[in-house]
Structure 1
């Protein structure tokens, strides 16, 4: 019996699974600085500065400031300003405002993203085969309201519901985001059983391990041939190169996964 025939729900990660970034972070920060009449920042310093600033913001104000009721734009303004400062760039208020508005607008549009060519067809195929399709993403509300629709991944056409960390107030790898998806999928009718659900993502820590910890089936995509993928396989994970292969895996009769790896946990 195929795994597909056992499933009522398939949840899918977004970045790295359905969509990818075009270019590098430095491209967009450079364009924003130049639009305000400033020199292009150093790409490497900018990338490292952003990583550090973003990590600190997610610790201080998790889920894009959800618990503290911080407006999304304010969260990003603090993050972007700290990114530039860590990279060694400090601007007067008026200049920074012009730079920030350009960055915020860009990442709230389809411009910096590309959809993997197998994504839309795979999601539609799941829905046509009777599966509820959910999105689980550590992303803020603009992914749901603007970015995904602008990329042609539309609620009601490609997916049925989404659990976005900036809206739900819980983020991967916390198992509660998966439990919320199981509950939402049934529309208040008692939830979908974890054994009837599959999660597809690209991170052992954020996708595979917590999904398995709640009892869901799980699948990892290795679109970019990451060095970690061999370790994922050794840990018992099902790892495939893309959603075309995932479709065949679901039809052919996927084997039962191993017990959740030691990394599993609520995070």
Structure 2
């Protein structure tokens, strides 16, 4: 999909924004395989047998929730670092779901997965993500990333060959998780020119972390690539304007090309 002869409409929609930022996971990129499949592949590559993906999936959900609760932001405020956080998560998942695997092997599998998730093998670009980033670059002064992620993110974005951005803000490196408004304030300060909150747009896929987080910081925001689960949350939330919700980037581009007004 291209903007063709409708660039005037796109410019009209985006002209008020000096800064556009994007979330990453399930906004620009998605997992190439579900985690349980990726974890099982890594275990088998290290000679582990009798791997059950469904058991991994069940353990992943419970242990990820526990780690995020007990050591939020990948352990940023704890005495340990993000590498410890992920190694602990992976090893606890396998201890719970596959108790026959010894500790030495679990350590190898954990280290392998941490490296794998820097590569193209674990990620794929969401359709039209690059196109929307290029549109933002054409019509706005600055383009950035704001993501609840660990320090691997810049390497992942480079590996996936997404269009270059002016800055990448991760929750781990800033010490601040979305939806805290301060991470959005930091993004404004990184622009090296005065950008008011009303002149910034954030694009993400989660109602609370992205849309409401940006809105509470005084920004405009849209939701894209919205799941059925998120749609149910949105339908009961009066803070979310339905005009700002798009199932796909294709729908968002169509809006930009249209005469309708959503801001």
Using the size of structure 2 for normalisation, the TM-score is 0.85
User: What is the CA distance between 1:217 and its match in structure 2?
Assistant: 0.8
3-state DSSP of counterpart to 1:111: helix
Distance 2:99 2:38 in 1: 15
Residue of structure 2 in register with 1:259 after alignment: none
Which deviates more from structure 2 when the two are superposed, residues 15-24 or residues 30-39? 30-39
151, 159, 164: which one pairs with 1:150? 159
1:18–1:65 distance in 2 versus 1, CA, 3 Å? same
CA distance, structure 2, for counterparts of residue 88 and residue 50 of structure 1: 12
Offset at residue 72 of structure 1 (A) = 2.7
Partners in 2 of 1:233 and 1:222 — Cα distance? 16
The equivalent of 2:135 in structure 1 is: 125
Task: Using the TM superposition, name which of 79-88 and 2-11 deviates more.
Answer: 79-88
The offset of 1:231, in angstroms, is 5.0
CA contact (8 A) 1:30 1:40 kept: no
Correspondent of 1:183 among 185, 189, 193: 189
> In the TM superposition, what whole-angstrom CA distance separates every residue of 1:204-259 from its partner, at most 9, and x where no partner exists?
111111111111111111355x1432652563241112223323434545323xxx
Distance change in 2, residues 1:248/1:8 (3 Å) = farther
Please say if residues 33 and 40 of structure 1, whose CA atoms lie closer than 8 Å, have aligned partners that are also in contact: no
Query: Which structure: greater helix fraction?
Result: 2
Matched ranges for 1:137-216 at <5 A: 137-144=147-154, 146-153=155-162, 157-184=163-190, 186-187=191-192, 189=193, 191-216=194-219
Counterpart CA distance in 1 for 2:182 and 2:31 is 27
1:255 aligns with 2:233: no
CA displacement at 1:149 relative to structure 2: 0.6
Q: Distance in 2 between matches of 1:60 and 1:231?
A: 25
Partner of 2:118: 108
* Distance in 1 (alpha carbons) for counterparts of 2:26 and 2:261: 22
Residues 70 and 140 of structure 1: is their aligned pair in 2 closer, same or farther, counting only changes over 3 Å?
same
**Deviation of 1:40 (Å):** 4.1
Q: Any gaps of 5 or more consecutive residues in structure 1? A: 257-267
Count of aligned residue pairs for this structure pair:
248
Please identify runs of 4+ aligned residues in structure 1 that moved more than 3 A: 250-254
Whole-angstrom CA distance in 1 between matches of 2:94 and 2:58: 10
Residue 68 of structure 1: aligned partner: 78
Give a deviation string over 1:81-106, Cα, whole Å, max 9, x none: 11122324353232112222221221
TM-score norm. by structure 1 comes to 0.84
Unaligned runs of 5+ in 2: 1-8
2:207 and 2:233 in contact (8 A); partners too: no
